Amino acid sequence: MSNADEKTEISEKIVNTEFDPEEIEDNDDSEHLKEPFDPKKVDVSITTPNLNMLITRLHHNEIDLVPDFQRSGDLWSKQIQSRLIESILIRLPIPAFYFDAAIDDKWQVVDGLQRLSAINNFVVTQNLHLTNLEFLTEYEGCSYNELPRALQRRIDEFQTSVYLIKPGTPVGVKYSLFNRINTGGLKLNHQEIRHAMSQSINGGAASKFLKRLVETEVFKNVVINKNYRMAHEELALRHISFIMFGIESYKSSMPKFLNKAMIELSSVEDKRLAEMEKGFLASLKTTFDIFETDSFKKTLAIPGHRRVVNKPLFESVSVCLAKISDEERSILLNRKDDFLKAFICLLEDQKFDIAISKSTANTEKVQTRFSMVSALVNKLILGR
């Protein structure tokens, strides 16, 4: 196993400790498969420029190698980076690069981040010295400036394949293209793709809004784990999606539901954003005041369970508490003990447990958990 693979495997183990394991099984409902994108709306061009074209963009910071989602551009070991440079020097073909070219001054990398980072490290920043070469062993330890001009020219003139997703391509289509193209060993997850896609819409307003939510003190009180690969932003988006579209509108799949919300969120007016933010924070504060460190966790009913957030529980409880009034939230706080007892019973209910644990993106399971939480909340507010 390579160093990059080891790092990826370790990272995946870390992220799996952050939240309750969630069995999505998003394909339980087939409705979303009836919506293929219109191929006539796909605008992707292919060019075969010399590598110097990409190097020039790297020199001028016109390719985003440090996106603010947590996908490192330097997961490859120095040996793997060196072998890529060696491949270029001996004219072996390398895979194509894919970019979202919606913003011409700052291309977003769809596929090829590690390769671009290796080229940047060797040619632009020159902090990579060739190591453990297989063929060109006489250049072991050399930097770019220490190569003969003939080899430097070979890098500049190396022919590449570059695919550009053009500005006219609809955002929804771009999501599909991102998912289809993004097949490498260091795949972006759904929220990282949403973030990348949102940067070309209203200055990345959707991503900025979600980031603001998850950086609040009240959010950090209930979700204390590290924000690995935009997991917190996706959690906030799940809440916002149901607030924007309504619970009844949900039809699986969950990823497509969230994709749609991310697109819509980019153009929501400031007044509506403020309303959603207020409801979001009020619901989290109420939850923490009642459940404290057991907020959105199964530990309330299962003391020995890992103290991690359950995502379906987070969305159903936070949305229900955001949709009621300040006065009604005060009633729940005054009936804290009753709420705790009733909620423990809810967590112990087999039907509810299945709805937050298995096939959680299935339409029926989503509707079940929301209706059961809502019924409990309304019962406590009415006092009967």
**pLDDT digit string, tens, across residues 174-223:** 777 777 776 555 567 888 888 877 877 888 899 999 999 999 999 999 99
Which pLDDT belongs to residue 196?
78
CB atoms within 10 A of CB 384: 6
Mean pLDDT value of segment 231-241: 96
Beta bridge partners of 64: 108
Close Cβ partners of 117 (under 8 Å, ≥ 6 residues apart): 65, 73, 74, 76, 81
Q: How far is CA 277 from CA 2, 24, 221, 235, in A?
A: 44, 27, 16, 14
Mean pLDDT in the chain? 86
* Segment 115-165, tens digit of pLDDT: 999 999 999 999 999 999 999 999 999 999 999 999 999 999 999 999 998
Q: How many helices (H) and strands (E) are present in the chain, helices listed first?
A: 17, 5
Tell me the two tokens of residue 119. Answer: 């080229």
**pLDDT confidence band for 12 (50 / 70 / 90):** very low
The yes-or-no verdict on residue 319 having pLDDT over 50 is yes
pLDDT of residue 131: 96
Q: What is the mean pLDDT of residues 18-35?
A: 54
Query: Helix axis angle, 336-348 relative to 363-382, nearest 10°?
Result: 150
Q: Which helix (H) or strand (E) element contains residue 159?
A: none
